Amino acid sequence: MRRMDDAKLLKIVDALRDEAERCNHRRLIVIAGDRIWTLDKLKKVIQHLPYKKRIVFTWQKDFEINAEIEELKNSEKYLGTTYELLAIDLHHSFVPNDLGKLVNIVKGGGLIFLLTPTFEEWKRSTNFFHEVILTPPYTMDDIKRNFVRWVTKKLLENEGITIIEGENLLKLGTMECGEDRREIKIPQKFKFKRELYDMAKTQDQVRVLNLAEHLEKKGVMVITADRGRGKSSVLGMIAGAYSGKLRKIGVTAPDINNLQEFFKFLEHTLHLYHKHYTKGQRWIKGKNFKIEFEEASKLNPRKYDLLIVDEAAGIPVPLLLNFLKARRVIYSTTTHGYEGTGRSFSIRFLGELKKRDKNFMAIEMNEPIRYAKDDPVERWLFDTLLLDAEPCTLDDIKIQELEYKKYDIGNLLDDERKLREYYGIFVLAHYRNNPNDFGILCDAPNHEIRTLEKDGHVVCSVQLAREGNLKDYEEELYFGVVPPGNIVPDVIIKHYRKRDFSKFVGYRIVRIATHPDFMDRGIGSKMLEKIKEEDVDWIGSSFGATAQLLNFWIKNDFYPIHISPKLNESTGEYSVVVLHPKNSEIKRDFNEIRKRFGKKLIYSLGEIHRNLDLDIARLLLLNLPRDEKLELDEVEWKRLIAYCWGPGNYEATMDVIYKVASSYFFLRRRPHLNEEQEKILIGKVLQHKHWEEIGKEIGKGGTYVVIELREIMRKFIKGVFEYEVLEFQRRFHGED
């Protein structure tokens, strides 16, 4: 440990800057101490360094400095920007996502400064992130304070990181350079302009451009890359090169903010090709071309000559597969990055794509564009935020051999191999992992860990959130205050007016995932069986509904009790809450809750949930309590008979048909309808879709649906007013 004055500090900073420029890497410097002291040191460093593009992020702009100053809450809008110096003041706020977003705005040759309390004080302190993740009835005293402990450990372990604490140099992060960037070689044959290839910053970008030329006729292309590899910029270059050759180009992403680099390089390319254009907030158009952004859930792929899908890992697989209806498609996604992993995309979506189109082109981009390979700051970031966590490798497993384990996160942080196995399964199974998820797991007092393991290796991972025990908040909940977390109690109290539910305690399963090599073997179901054995009043979950996922929960006796009124715009899915009651008091009222959910859903299908997927709607409705009988009066029965065998039509009988359809799912005894007939009942009668619309959804024509609906209604009439039925058959059908 060496003591230093300002002159020594500036000498160290100069040496690190020279080394960063020579290696085309970044270097990270931690200045730890009292906030006023750390800001004073930063001001002197910034005044001394020759960098022009420099920015400081802080919780509150309560100081002046010779640099751009921005509040951390606005970090999202700086994605895709480039700076030579970045400083992050972490004294009041340490949101893990901010680290993931901001570190990579610095290019090679630049420096990154973290201003923190002394490490021991930092490990003991709480910050804004803790306030965000805290849920009642817990208090700040219950916060676990593990994330900072993990971060400081990784700062001490990794190369390229200098740590100055007080007046002491704890660690000097100088290191040797890695291999130099290779010279870019342009292919001998190419169709795009040579000048476009000259814009490429890496050989990987050249390879992508050359491959994209094969889309001139039609095809599918898939690009995967770690963050900072220049994929969004090369997509902009491809779109610009095809503009005019192709009239309508669509681009989508989970958020339009993901596309800043795309539009920037699109405009560079249009200038290169001397194309005049005008632009709006979501589009650019010129002579014979238009390039426009559309949200994934609203996009009609058939209208595009080329569809570009950026950050595809953040979009549900059913939507991605639907995009294949475009004549040409480019899918691109981040393999590792704070936005969410694309490893699951590689396994799940590419597996589906291979079944449908074996001729798609795939390419991976490895070379960083802003800095040289083996940048130590990137390695530290991946290591710290578990961006590259992977499951273990196992030959085979037998389900009866799996062992159920409970862990405190502190135990796993001390067993890094198991931590990476546990978290790596989430990375491969879920689209939207981000650093905040890891931070919550580390520090939230109500989050717990469960695993199924073979020989100490993780095969199934679960993250639980303990909810409830809210008796002190009962009045607030009942009258509309939404508590942080506590999703299941909020739904029961808000929508079913069950005040007493506040006293119960349960587990909400935040995430459950099985090792990708051993899926569809009943391992997830075994995990749920084990969780059900724990001593809580209820177990529930909330998730973006797909038919496959909903079926998994229902077959394990988790019943739907709520569906969100709106689609999640980034995923195109409705959120569903499911519940498995354990407490006898909850069980007593549970059929009533399920029944009310069903009635509410049926009423909403005609408007709010008119576009709900038929498979999902059917699964929800088929799992309602069946304890009713069909209640039609004499006139209604006779009108239904006239519709089925006589002169009645759908429009004139709709009220009765609706009454039958809305009762069907609750009937103790009901006629046998096949899957297609149940979908007609839902789509035509309950969702009020046009004949042709529902016909298209089931793969038939509109006339078929008209005829089939009569057949469906006839199944309800057996044995009712038989004389009337026979008379209509005789008069209208020539039947004796």
Instruction: List strands edge to edge, sheet with 559-563.
Output: 403-407, 447-454, 457-468, 505-514, 538-544, 575-581, 559-563
Give yes or no on whether 2-171 and 194-365 have one common fold: yes
Question: Which string of b and e fits 118-139 if b means at least 16 CB within 10 Å?
Answer: ebeebbebebebbeebbbbbbe
For 277, residues 6+ apart whose C-beta sits below 8 A from its C-beta are 267, 270, 284, 285, 286
Omega before 254 cis (within 30°)?
Answer: no
What is the DSSP-derived secondary structure letter of residue 559? E
What is the DSSP-derived secondary structure letter of residue 180? P
For 639, residues 6+ apart whose C-beta sits below 8 A from its C-beta are 648, 653, 656
**% of the chain surpassing 70 pLDDT:** 96
Is 333 a residue whose pLDDT tops 50?
Answer: yes
What residues are paired with 220 via a beta bridge? 329
H/E element, 83: strand 83-89
pLDDT of residue 419: 97
* Amino acid type, 597: F
In the predicted model, what is the mean pLDDT of residues 169-186? Answer: 84
CA neighbor of 517 nearest in space, from 335, 350, 391 = 391
Is 247 a residue whose pLDDT tops 70?
Answer: yes
Phi, psi (deg, nearest 5) at residue 241: -65, -30
Instruction: List strands edge to edge, sheet with 289-293.
Output: 277-279, 283-286, 289-293, 248-252, 306-309, 328-334, 219-225, 361-365
What confidence tier does 569 reach under pLDDT thresholds 50, 70, 90?
Answer: low
Q: Where are the beta strands (DSSP E) in 352-413?
A: 361-365, 403-407
pLDDT of residue 732: 81
Radius of gyration of the chain (CA): 30
H/E element, 194: helix 194-199
- What distance in Å separates the CA atoms of residue 311 and residue 314, rounded to the nearest whole number? 6
H/E element, 586: helix 584-604
Is 517 a residue whose pLDDT tops 60?
Answer: yes
- What distance in Å separates the CA atoms of residue 631 and residue 613, rounded to the nearest whole number? 29
What confidence tier does 181 reach under pLDDT thresholds 50, 70, 90?
Answer: low
What confidence tier does 680 reach under pLDDT thresholds 50, 70, 90?
Answer: very high
Q: What end-to-end distance do the CA atoms of the chain give, in Å?
A: 105
What confidence tier does 683 reach under pLDDT thresholds 50, 70, 90?
Answer: very high
Work out whether the CA dihedral 120, 123, 126, 128 comes out positive or negative.
positive
pLDDT of residue 725: 84
Residue ranges in 243-387 assigned as alpha helix (H):
260-272, 317-322, 343-344, 350-356, 376-385
In the predicted model, what is the mean pLDDT of residues 584-609? Answer: 96
> Does domain 194-365 match CATH 3.40.50.300?
yes
- What distance in Å separates the CA atoms of residue 172 and residue 156, rounded to the nearest whole number? 10
- What distance in Å separates the CA atoms of residue 455 and residue 515, rounded to the nearest whole number? 15
Is 340 a residue whose pLDDT tops 50?
Answer: no
In the predicted model, what is the mean pLDDT of residues 86-97? Answer: 97
Average pLDDT, the chain: 92
* Pair 306, 326: CB distance under 8 Å: yes
Composition of the chain by helix, strand, coil, percent to 5 = 45, 20, 35
Q: What confidence tens digit (pLDDT) does each residue in 256-304 have?
A: 877 888 999 999 999 999 999 999 989 999 999 999 999 988 899 999 9
- What distance in Å separates the CA atoms of residue 236 and residue 272, rounded to the nearest whole number? 12
What confidence tier does 203 reach under pLDDT thresholds 50, 70, 90?
Answer: very high
CA neighbor of 332 nearest in space, from 291, 358, 365, 359 = 365
**% of the chain surpassing 90 pLDDT:** 76
What confidence tier does 141 reach under pLDDT thresholds 50, 70, 90?
Answer: very high
Q: Whats the size of the chain, residue-wise?
A: 736
pLDDT of residue 226: 80
Q: What confidence tens digit (pLDDT) does each residue in 122-137 have?
A: 999 999 999 999 999 9
pLDDT of residue 696: 93
- What distance in Å separates the CA atoms of residue 74 and residue 228, rounded to the nearest whole number? 20
Is 730 a residue whose pLDDT tops 90?
Answer: no
Is 16 a residue whose pLDDT tops 80?
Answer: yes
For 401, residues 6+ apart whose C-beta sits below 8 A from its C-beta are 454
Is 343 a residue whose pLDDT tops 60?
Answer: no
pLDDT of residue 610: 95
Is 337 a residue whose pLDDT tops 60?
Answer: no
Q: How many CB atoms are located within 10 Å of the residue 518 CB?
A: 19
Q: What is the pTM of this model?
A: 0.87
pLDDT of residue 485: 87
Name the CATH topology of 399-613.
Aminopeptidase (3.40.630)
Residue 723 burial (CB < 10 Å; 0-12/13-18/19+)? exposed
* Pair 282, 227: CB distance under 8 Å: no
For 212, 293, 427, 432, 736, the CA distances from 723, given in Å and listed in that order, are 71, 62, 65, 61, 12
Task: Assign domain 2-171 to its CATH architecture.
Answer: 3-Layer(aba) Sandwich (3.40)
- What distance in Å separates the CA atoms of residue 703 and residue 109, rounded to the nearest whole number? 68
What confidence tier does 139 reach under pLDDT thresholds 50, 70, 90?
Answer: very high
Phi, psi (deg, nearest 5) at residue 384: -75, -40
pLDDT of residue 480: 81
For 292, residues 6+ apart whose C-beta sits below 8 A from its C-beta are 249, 250, 251, 282, 283, 284, 285
Taking CA 491 as the corner, what is the angle to CA 487 and CA 497, rounded to the nearest 5 degrees?
A: 140
| Annotated domain spans of the chain | 2-171, 194-365, 399-613, 634-733
- Lowest mean per-residue pLDDT among 126-130, 400-404, 564-568: 564-568
pLDDT of residue 605: 97
Is 254 a residue whose pLDDT tops 70?
Answer: yes
Q: Tokens for 593?
A: 């809750």
Q: Tokens for 347?
A: 């396994």
